[in-house]
Structure 1
């Protein structure tokens, strides 16, 4: 593993070392060739916020021939991490470029080197027009439209494209790869538009917008977040526009990096949100006078899904020591079975965890891939291939959207139970202070229902759609970019649905006083009160409280409060490769 994220007192002194955790599969090494020395070189609330400047303690991701890690992607996309290319990567890039240079002098046509693209792949291009060919490719493919894509997504896809360049499989010059790395390191974020990618031949339009900035064209956000012409941002960072050589334009745009970057970011968020779903469920089970007996380890073992076991164990830890639950465990309790939304939480949350584990396996394989067409092979050939098709990523993006919708649907059903006097076991209607005068949390449930309805729409798979393009040469596409975009919206909506359940359940927890909650659930209630989220009382302006709790959920503070008090943090599920 040659790519790492590590702190360094001086950004220039970063040293490559293996990241924590199991290594991802290695990519093949480059063929022997000339060294790089012989080749010329040159928070979430607002995704377009500035990139922190370099300084003492800044971490640097050193991109080598091997795959970047998911942690690297998150660090560069969302954090302060800088980026540089390892010496081994420059050697591999130079070796791959030597192969392309040899083909450039060949009188036979070679796709991407001396021909046009797509349906124009049979057109031979003379040597004196090939720089124009590469520039025209980037300009014509930078055809996105719609709102700006979030800064973290653009930075993630740029790091992943740089990682592929570093394999030596794409045939770019070392100087071009270094310029791409320098642009990313300087915090220059090209303006990429929402619509334009079909997810086959990769994310062509989004990557073309990034490559356009490398040429000094188009618009970017500079390190301060200001919208400026690319040429001005490059000059401010001390960088010069790049003039592309044979094959380089194609190498910069022909990858699945946009959809993969969004998958990696979504998995990072879903680890936290699915564990938070357990916290929300524990609050509801406790406040609705449910039982934790159904979460017993021996019952879960009868159906040995790893995600289910992890979720049930988490719920047991979160509910440990609950005075509320102890109050109705005796022979006087007439409850026989809880509703499915309480009783089956481990089965649904666990299935979602297993879906995340599968998606993580796919993501790690993709991180270890070198996607380009044509590609420079280990033995020095340049071959066309179909590895740019986004189906493997698109499928799991759609699968995750389905799981997210179902977890949110169950959460909304638990929220609704609190508000109905026929089902909430002694709580006031809508948890209102003075029902009739006050509406309590009635409309909060409407909001949750509206979000869940939107999530059901977002769960419709994008990958089953395909519209032919490029004069039927590209007659089947993955729509993986669209799957990624809707998953981002789904992940945000899940956090908001869980926040409404947490808000509702903590109010119910207060209404169960003087019965004492578990340490974990009580800690969540105390966190909300400390942040100004009101408990029981007359109606007040509710939207600010919903936003506060949504932020606490998204940031991981709700989960940290619960797990910190229970002394039993939930583990991340391992992939089959990790368990092996």
Structure 2
């Protein structure tokens, strides 16, 4: 992937990175100007001074020469569990995107070292938890350490290995250590990755709900586009569900259970929440999050590391997914009822001797309950650190981690409903409508016909691995 501007960096992209020469020349000019500005002797936080509560301490020239490297050492206090490789790479891509704005005023050589790590078969071992600071200094010290030969890496098999010797040894120059730690690039990059995952998930939610609507013979009135008047997102979602489900000339009842009728509203809310988070990610990458940032020829202290925008919209999407999972689980329960579907109880071929999908629903119930516990708002702590210098924080790193877990759990409840929908089509001996035939074919490729009870956990694992996306 050729990069000519910061906006070209996609945190969800697995492609190798190559930076345009013009962009590197632009960043080199900024670096030269910033170094010249440092010669003025004015105090610059984290460069000529200590950090946090020690910011009043001016550093001598010998201390400054090792300070930037030392910044990556004492803050690396994290440990396993480590971020999955895709999330770790998203952190690096988030750091790259912020560097390319020029606010950090780092050298093109450091940026190229970062690109080399991104393009390597390794990712840094970055702790998934424990970022209790204003900003991301703990996880980013782990992310940045391998650039200078310290810390640990994970290979493609998940094996942990020392970072020393993987990349050419790099010596940090003035401001480059604090630049590696500054801002909220990790939460921003990870949130961008979760946006891509959530979009794939909500598309699957729409398909599975449409399948349940078909199975129940639900009246299609609630999915008329006109019902979404004044709300383009809702109108579009209703149109999508109706197109997937097709028409039902003879509904089983005037009104299906509420969990069927509200599918459009539930998914529209998820889609709006995804769009809101995407806008927050773009604000994080477009705005100034470095501190100090090099702006208009000056080093400027900022509060851009306070990721309340990201944390709030991650929480918003987590709650939207929790609601969607609960509605999906409720629909799954209704699908087990012959009064709703006209099919054998619990979608068993032989109810009584066979349990059918009843335990699949129980798994969905437990998963939805687990998801519900994630919906506590993240940014409600005023815990102090650094002797009171950092007296509030947003826990945006944790918020995006909670969102990642919410996406994983919602995929599970959706897979449970999908298995039941496929079984219902099978027992009814009817083909799926055209809009759902691709999905049902994908299910059939990994889930054999169900004529008797078996270990349905294997089927669900296959759906999660091969079908859910």
TM-score, L = length of structure 1: 0.77
Of 120, 131, 138, the residue aligned with 1:197 is 131
Could you say if the C-alpha distance between residues 91 and 527 of structure 1 is closer, same or farther in structure 2, counting changes exceeding 3 Å? closer
Of 514, 525, 532, the residue aligned with 2:440 is 525
Of 474, 477, 482, the residue aligned with 2:390 is 474
Of 358, 366, 371, the residue aligned with 2:289 is 371
- Match of 1:134, SS? helix
Find the counterpart in structure 2 of residue 215 from structure 1.
148
Q: Deviations over 1:329-372 (max 9, x none)?
A: 5xxx6x22111111111111111111111222222222323421
- Contact 1:112-1:246 at 8 Å conserved across structures: no
- Match of 1:112, SS? coil
Give 1:30-429 correspondences, 5 Å limit: 60-62=1-3, 64-69=4-9, 72-75=10-13, 79=14, 81-198=15-132, 200=134, 202-222=135-155, 226-234=159-167, 240-301=168-229, 304-320=230-246, 325-326=248-249, 328-329=250-251, 335-377=253-295, 379-421=296-338, 423-429=339-345
- Match of 1:228, SS? strand
The offset of 1:102, in angstroms, is: 2.7
- Match of 1:147, SS? coil
- Contact 1:297-1:309 at 8 Å conserved across structures: yes
Structure with the larger helix share = 2
1:500 aligns with 2:385: no
What root-mean-square deviation, in Å, do the aligned CA atoms of Structure 1 and Structure 2 show?
1.9
Find the counterpart in structure 2 of residue 543 from structure 1.
457
- Contact 2:204-2:468 at 8 Å conserved across structures: no
Tell me how many residue pairs correspond in the alignment: 469
Structure 1 alignment gaps of length 5 or more: 1-59, 235-239, 556-580
Structure 2 alignment gaps of length 5 or more: none
Could you say if the C-alpha distance between residues 433 and 470 of structure 1 is closer, same or farther in structure 2, counting changes exceeding 3 Å? same
**Aligned counterparts of 1:198 and 1:308: Cα–Cα separation in 2:** 38
- Contact 2:122-2:156 at 8 Å conserved across structures: yes
- Match of 2:233, SS? helix
The offset of 1:420, in angstroms, is: 2.9
**Aligned counterparts of 1:298 and 1:388: Cα–Cα separation in 2:** 44
**Aligned counterparts of 1:199 and 1:87: Cα–Cα separation in 2:** 36
The offset of 1:523, in angstroms, is: 4.0
The offset of 1:199, in angstroms, is: 6.2
**Aligned counterparts of 1:353 and 1:164: Cα–Cα separation in 2:** 27
TM-score, L = length of structure 2: 0.95
Task: List, as ranges, runs of 4+ consecutive aligned residues in structure 1 with deviation greater than 6 Å.
Answer: none
The offset of 1:261, in angstroms, is: 1.4
Could you say if the C-alpha distance between residues 107 and 365 of structure 1 is closer, same or farther in structure 2, counting changes exceeding 3 Å? closer
**Aligned counterparts of 1:162 and 1:105: Cα–Cα separation in 2:** 26
- Match of 1:376, SS? strand
- Contact 2:216-2:341 at 8 Å conserved across structures: yes
Q: Deviations over 1:25-79 (max 9, x none)?
A: xxxxxxxxxxxxxxxxxxxxxxxxxxxxxxxxxxx242x443235xx2211xxx2
The offset of 1:516, in angstroms, is: 4.7
- Contact 2:219-2:254 at 8 Å conserved across structures: no
**Aligned counterparts of 2:315 and 2:326: Cα–Cα separation in 1:** 17
Could you say if the C-alpha distance between residues 126 and 476 of structure 1 is closer, same or farther in structure 2, counting changes exceeding 3 Å? same
- Contact 1:89-1:168 at 8 Å conserved across structures: no
**Aligned counterparts of 1:105 and 1:526: Cα–Cα separation in 2:** 67
- Match of 2:350, SS? coil
**Aligned counterparts of 2:206 and 2:54: Cα–Cα separation in 1:** 54
**Aligned counterparts of 1:232 and 1:221: Cα–Cα separation in 2:** 14
The offset of 1:457, in angstroms, is: 0.7
Could you say if the C-alpha distance between residues 192 and 538 of structure 1 is closer, same or farther in structure 2, counting changes exceeding 3 Å? same
**Aligned counterparts of 2:459 and 2:155: Cα–Cα separation in 1:** 34
User: Which deviates the most, 290-299 or 447-456?
Assistant: 290-299
- Match of 1:467, SS? coil
Q: Deviations over 1:70-93 (max 9, x none)?
A: xx2211xxx2x1123322332333
The offset of 1:226, in angstroms, is: 4.5
- Match of 2:153, SS? strand
